Homo-oligomer: A and B are copies of this chain.
Amino acid sequence: MATINKNFTKLPGSYLFSTIAKKVNEFEKANPDAKIIRLGIGDVTKPIAPSVIKALHSAVDEMANADTFKGYAPDLGYAFLREKIAMYDYKDRGCDVNADEIFVSDGAKCDCSNIQEIFGLDNTIGVCDPVYPVYVDSNVMAGRTGDYNSKTDRFDNVIYMPCNSDNGFVPELPDKAPDLIYLCFPNNPTGAVISKDRLQEWVDYAIKNNSVILYDSAYEAFISEENVPHSIYECEGARKCAIEFRSFSKTAGFTGLRLGYTVVPKDLMVEGVALHGLWARRHGTKYNGAPYIVQKAGEAVYSPEGQREIRENISYYMENAKIILDGVKKAGFEAYGGVNAPYIWLKTPSDMTSWEFFDYLLEKACVVGTPGVGFGPEGENYFRLTAFGNRENTIKAIDRIKKL
């Protein structure tokens, strides 16, 4: 008799963004004339950059001709892309990362959620609270956590590391070291960054405790200030304790094209086994590579024109972020982020819960944001706005919020 994976039943309700979509749909049905502005889900709105479009067309033409047609891609990605990544994202920043340590994939969400497969089920995970739900949920599904505890609104057997205004949204080193430590900077959802010194403390801590850091730097392209690390490999010793995830989704507007990559340094050993080999085996057995045409699009991002174009888009979004941050502050909100990240994390007014504020903002201003509590109990009384809208709507949304 077949049985189901009962760990799935530990997950409460539906995925955060599905719940939001449902609420917004209901509101739209009830208010067909409402002009809703969405600053909720972190999806981009600027079209793909011209030089990337050109590369896509050219790659499509290659697929039309038997002499240039490409079938199965190399398991770990095409060398032309892996070499560009190693050069521009790492070596140019002084990070020791080689092309053969880069695993190209269809996005950081998949990699972040699949990476746990190469670790034992006996590992304890540590996550920031609030946190991008995928880290926890993928471990719940695998059976690496206890049950959902409705008293704490948290899963048992997970080390939650509170991030709040007291600690500048950067977690303290836990007394009991998690075996797998998920860190994301610039942070989703809080928009906070970590200094290089603080990140070095985490690397030292991981090495001392034989822990592995799973470092999500999907938003590194949005860093505008100096002394903020773009990669964990800027820290000494990180090659021995850290895996890093990157994405083209926000950097180059690839949310609908799907491209990302994961760095597993060859020096990273656990129980005497190189994680590089395990992840290569996982990739080879369960994945068939990102589409050739999308990998060619990724390559074009690294061309001088590509870089200029995506920098322009990022500046546009960061100008939105400034408009939101300044605007909500002027409206009297306590607000964070928005300087090195496309997310603004604001405190709800008058102790409203996150969902109360969600409903209030939707009903009174027709603006959709994301309830902070959706990212963990420490996110209660917070609310996330994103800078990925268009300028006109962003300004309109902030005007409406100011008028509340």
Contacts of A179 in B (CB 8 A): 1-3
Q: Is the CB of A4 within 8 A of B291?
A: no
Q: Is the CB of A107 within 8 A of B293?
A: no
Checking B5, B63, B71, B271 against A45 with a beta-carbon cut-off of 8 angstroms, the contacting residue is B71
A183 interface contact, C-beta 8 A: no
Checking B47, B56, B278, B286 against A65 with a beta-carbon cut-off of 8 angstroms, the contacting residue is B47
Number of copies of this kind of chain in the complex: 2
A31 interface contact, C-beta 8 A: no
Cβ of A359 to closest chain B Cβ, rounded Å: 23
Residue of B with least CB distance to A278: B8
Contacts of A294 in B (CB 8 A): 291
Checking B44, B109, B119, B257 against A2 with a beta-carbon cut-off of 8 angstroms, the contacting residue is B119
A196 interface contact, C-beta 8 A: no
| Known contacts A8-B118, A11-B281, then 20 further A-B pairs from the complex at CB < 8 Å, ordered by chain A residue | A3-B270, A4-B120, A5-B118, A14-B281, A18-B284, A47-B64, A48-B63, A48-B69, A53-B63, A63-B256, A66-B390, A69-B253, A70-B256, A71-B256, A73-B256, A106-B291, A107-B288, A109-B286, A114-B286, A117-B141
Contacts of A314 in B (CB 8 A): none
Checking B11, B14, B60, B273 against A60 with a beta-carbon cut-off of 8 angstroms, the contacting residue is B60
Cβ of A266 to closest chain B Cβ, rounded Å: 15
Q: Is the CB of A1 within 8 A of B210?
A: yes
Contacts of A3 in B (CB 8 A): 119-120, 122-123, 179, 270-271
Which bucket holds chain A's interface residue count? 35 or more
| Residue from A138, A256, A288 having most chain B Cβ neighbours under 10 A | A256
Within A204-257, the residues touching B (CB, 8 Å) are: 209-212, 253, 255-257
Q: Is the CB of B117 within 8 A of A5?
A: yes
Checking B2, B72, B210 against A123 with a beta-carbon cut-off of 8 angstroms, the contacting residue is B2
Q: Is the CB of B45 within 8 A of A69?
A: yes
Cβ of A223 to closest chain B Cβ, rounded Å: 22
Q: Is the CB of B123 within 8 A of A256?
A: no
Task: Flag A286-329 by CB within 8 Å of B: 1 or 0 each.
Answer: 11111111100000000000000000000000000000000000
